[in-house]
Amino acid sequence: MLTDTDALPAPEIIAAEIADDLEAALEQFTKIAARLGQPAGVWDDLPMKRFGSLTLFLLLVVGGGLAIGFLTAPGDWYADLAKPSFNPPNRLFGPVWTLLYVLIAVAGWRTFEHDRGGGPMKLWWAQLVLNFLWSPTFFATHLIGLALLVILLLLAAILAFIIVSWRQDRVAAWLFAPYAAWAAFASALNDSIWLLN
């Protein structure tokens, strides 16, 4: 884990730490597979709680996000809205959000492992609630102005998470950087759609 005195980590360092985390998880799952059918005592040395929590974070964030996206998929109402020239094609949103949800989950897991009740974890939960609230507000209730308020609060929570996490876990903070950029873009898009309609 990076400390406050460390230099700004390069993207390669962040990618290496994530790869190490995923490699360690894969190693543990390989050990589990090798021990299937063995007596219960052979399981005692595996840190299942740690990597089990990663799985839960991925299921919660990626599964929850994709489910909400499916349930509130843009329909005719959205297709009929006037949109700004910088509106991306609809096919881009699914892959972008899937990648962002993985990054959000890994950042949440790292934060949870470090300090489950601290400020960064509370901000992580706040951003997730706001994230999951935006699609129903925009696509289901068609309240574009209220959705703009939700996404601006989401952007504030993301930025606050980055700032507060920076001292404890710069990797978790950096994992939120693409999310912050996308939320800023989505805020501008939401605002433009609101003004045009």
Q: What pLDDT is stored for residue 53 in this prediction?
A: 82
How large is the average pLDDT for residues 93-119?
Answer: 93
Mean pLDDT (whole number) for 180-195: 97
How high is the pLDDT of residue 74? 86
Give the dihedral sign, CA 134/135/140/145: positive
Please provide the distance, in angstroms rounded to a whole number, between the alpha carbons at the two ends of the chain: 47
Centroid of chain to Cα 65: 9
Instruction: Give pLDDT, residue 52.
Output: 76
List Cβ<8 Å contacts ≥24 apart for 52-56: 53/109, 53/112, 53/113, 54/21, 54/25, 54/105, 54/106, 54/109
Domain ranges of the chain: 11-196
Q: What's the rounded Cα separation, in Å, for the pair 10 and 197?
A: 42
Question: What's the mean pLDDT when you consider all of the chain?
Answer: 84
Indicate if the pLDDT at residue 177 is higher than 90: yes
* Per-residue model confidence (pLDDT) at position 40: 44
pTM, two decimal places: 0.75
Residues of the chain above pLDDT 70, percent: 74
pLDDT band at 90 (very low <50, low <70, confident <90, very high): confident
- Is residue 138 pLDDT above 80, yes or no? yes
Class of domain 11-196: mainly alpha
Q: Decide: 48 and 75 in contact? Cβ < 8 Å.
A: no
Give the span between the Cα atoms of 55 and 67, in whole angstroms.
17
Least confident of 37-46, 114-123, 153-162: 37-46
Torsion angles phi and psi, residue 10, rounded to 5: -75, 155
